[in-house]
């Protein structure tokens, strides 16, 4: 992740797509703000559902090919076995004609889902980019952070962030603070602030006296009392609060904080934090089970490919849980909702194609 910054993507392909998706995310957040619930977590859920619904026609075509491939494979393997040791031109032409006839019989193209994947992949990568960089694409959230950045610039141009002596802040600056030295200083500071844990944000707010800053008449950072409790919830925490957890923090951080709490281990918070990676693994596993499975072939290469796919399907839920444990909970929320939507789509697609 070194070098990744949270300002808008300017890539030739992903940049324009991310910008369009950013308008959609900002529209969803603004709509929620109008009805009094400006919440990033809820915005991510609605944003993910809308995108996957828009991609539904492509998904149907892709899954149709996968589903029918499982049914075609025995016939295709029979043709391959029939011409296994025949390398002459007539035999090759006959094998190709019979193979094409099988594809025509099932009404799919030999290119399968390649075109659908080529269209979907940049969209999904751009979707990830928008969710990972909310302040860059949602104006109100970005403006909230920029008020803090301007205050920090007026004090020391972000020198404390770069030389705080705090291991985690130093790590965040090295990973996400590229713009602080090589680009727009304000954007660079926003990049860093957006990746700080709530504990590190409190440390920065105390050093720069950010607790008095307001945006649209509301405090930006939470007001902390003498006992360490939140007295007034600031805008940033309000935006990130989803069902009692701060989705800007990673579940691993939340577990550590809850375990080392001064008033005793906070078991409820630990359970809530671990729920996201757990749900991610479960929904990913369900997703895999619902997908058409590759059938065992008639030769060692096909059997090896099927075994490799089976191993990958086993590893994917574990990897999903690990990523969701270490990344901000907002990314985990997207992962879970995306898997749920894909599972529902898969059930509907399976019934449709079987019929």
In whole angstroms, give the CA distance from residue 240 to residue 246. 5
How does pLDDT run along the chain (355 residues), one tens digit per residue? 333 445 676 777 888 999 999 999 999 999 999 999 999 999 999 999 999 999 888 888 777 777 777 778 888 888 888 888 787 888 888 888 888 898 888 887 766 567 777 888 888 888 888 998 899 899 999 999 999 999 999 999 999 999 988 999 999 999 888 888 877 899 899 999 999 998 899 899 999 999 889 998 899 988 776 666 766 788 999 999 998 889 999 999 999 988 887 777 788 989 999 999 999 999 988 888 877 655 555 455 555 656 666 777 778 889 989 999 998 999 999 999 999 998 888 888 777 776 6
In whole angstroms, give the CA distance from residue 299 to residue 321. 34
Give the pLDDT score at 292: 61
CA 252 to chain centre: 17
Give the pLDDT score at 288: 81
In whole angstroms, give the CA distance from residue 64 to residue 71. 11
Maximum Cα–Cα distance across the chain = 87
Which residue bears the tokens 């500071």? 189
Give the pLDDT score at 2: 35
Give the pLDDT score at 294: 54
What residues contact residue 70 under an 8 Å CB cut-off, 6+ apart?
A: 292, 293, 294, 295
Cβ–Cβ < 8 Å for 140, 132: no
Structure tokens at 205: 């707010």
Which residue bears the tokens 């990913």? 284
Give the pLDDT score at 113: 61
Give the pLDDT score at 334: 92
Give the pLDDT score at 228: 65
DSSP 223-276: EE-TTS-EEE--HHHHHHEETTEETTS-HHHHHHHHHT-TTS--HHHHHHHHHH
Sign of the four-CA dihedral 320, 323, 326, 328:
negative
Sign of the four-CA dihedral 28, 325, 276, 170:
negative
CB atoms under 10 Å from CB of 45, counted, come to: 20
What is the signed CA dihedral for 256, 262, 266, 270, rounded to 10 degrees? -10
CB atoms under 10 Å from CB of 320, counted, come to: 23
Tell me the three state secondary structure of residue 3: coil
Sign of the four-CA dihedral 132, 136, 139, 143:
positive
CB atoms under 10 Å from CB of 34, counted, come to: 9
In whole angstroms, give the CA distance from residue 132 to residue 330. 8
Give the pLDDT score at 3: 36
**Do strands 223-224 and 230-232 pair parallel, antiparallel, or not at all (unpaired)?**
antiparallel
Residues 222-239 pLDDT 10s: 877 666 676 678 899 999
Give the pLDDT score at 34: 94
CB atoms under 10 Å from CB of 74, counted, come to: 12
In whole angstroms, give the CA distance from residue 13 to residue 15. 6
């Amino acid at each position: 992740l070194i070098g990744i910054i949270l300002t808008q993507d300017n890539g030739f392909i992903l940049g324009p797509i991310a910008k369009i998706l950013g308008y959609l995310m900002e529209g969803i957040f603004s709509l929620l703000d109008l009805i009094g619930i400006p919440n990033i977590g809820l915005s991510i859920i609605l944003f993910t559902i809308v995108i996957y619904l828009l991609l539904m026609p492509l998904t149907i075509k892709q899954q149709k090919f996968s589903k029918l491939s499982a049914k075609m494979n025995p016939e295709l393997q029979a043709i391959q076995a029939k011409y296994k040791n025949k390398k002459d031109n007539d035999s090759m032409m006959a094998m190709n004609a019979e193979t094409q006839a099988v594809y025509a019989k099932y009404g799919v193209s030999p290119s399968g889902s390649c075109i659908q994947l080529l269209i979907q992949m940049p969209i999904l990568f751009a979707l990830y980019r928008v969710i990972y960089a909310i302040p860059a694409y949602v104006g109100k959230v970005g403006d909230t952070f920029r008020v803090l950045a301007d205050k920090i610039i007026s004090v020391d141009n972000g020198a404390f962030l770069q030389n705080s002596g705090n291991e985690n802040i130093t790590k965040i600056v090295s990973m996400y603070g590229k713009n602080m030295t090589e680009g727009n200083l304000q954007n660079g500071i926003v990049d860093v602030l957006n990746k700080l844990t709530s504990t590190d944000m409190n440390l920065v707010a105390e050093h720069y006296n950010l607790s008095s800053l307001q945006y649209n008449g509301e405090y930006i950072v939470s007001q902390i009392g003498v006992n360490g409790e939140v007295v007034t919830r600031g805008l940033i925490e309000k935006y990130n609060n989803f069902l009692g957890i701060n989705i800007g923090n990673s579940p691993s951080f939340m577990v550590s904080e809850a375990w080392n709490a001064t008033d005793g281990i906070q078991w409820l918070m630990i359970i809530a934090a671990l729920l996201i990676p757990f749900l991610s693994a479960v929904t990913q596993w369900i997703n895999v089970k619902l997908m058409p499975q590759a059938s065992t072939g008639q030769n060692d290469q096909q059997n090896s490919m099927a075994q490799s796919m089976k191993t990958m399907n086993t590893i994917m839920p574990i990897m999903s849980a690990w990523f969701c444990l270490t990344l901000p909970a907002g990314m985990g929320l997207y992962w879970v909702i995306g898997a749920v939507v894909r599972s529902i789509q898969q059930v509907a697609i399976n019934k449709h194609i079987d019929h």
